[in-house]
Amino acid sequence: MDSFNAREFRNALGCFATGIAIMTTRDVDGRYIGITVNSFASVSLEPPLISFCLDRSANSLSGFLNAEHFSVNVLAEGQEPLSAAFARSSGGDKFVGIEFAVGPSGCPLLADCLTHLECVREAVYDAGDHLIMIGRVIRLAQRPEGKPLLYFRGRYARLGEAPG
């Protein structure tokens, strides 16, 4: 087997285009928490389960681990500034100046996203330098139109033509 370094591995994975989502929750003190991810995936239709990966060094780790609920906000084309705002690792309030509503689960639902999924944390699994969080979808909403914001080779990308 050939050897490779972490940068080469990351570059290879970057060849797989992904959508971008912002995971949001509310910590035990009532503070809103959000983080940009591109490691979001469907797991099961019955029951309705999704997953995302959370870096063990993320400032938001304890907030997500201690929260019962979280929301998935799937970003639309043109929401690069929102993605960038939630990707920064500063401990400041990322929700200042951001338009959102609070869903029945108590988690923020960001404006103008393609889809919102409200979830109950179902399980957390160890996975190297990340944790895999599994959520059971309890509520959802989606826009009838729009294109996704994509990520490819370390950059934002756009879909050429959205399927009908």
pLDDT band, residue 14 (cuts 50/70/90): confident
User: Is 103 among the domain residues?
Assistant: yes
Calculate what percentage of the chain has a pLDDT beyond 90. 74
Q: What is the pLDDT of residue 1?
A: 56
Which residues constitute the domain of residue 62?
8-156
CA distances from 136 to 36, 43, 105, 123 (A): 19, 10, 12, 9
- Which CATH number covers residue 57? 2.30.110.10
Residue 138 has pLDDT above 90, yes or no: yes
Asked whether residue 162 is assigned to any structural domain, the reply reads no
Q: Which amino acid is at 129?
A: D
pLDDT of 79 higher than 80:
yes
How many CB atoms are located within 10 Å of the residue 32 CB? 18
What 3-state DSSP class applies to 94?
coil
Name the domain count of the chain: 1
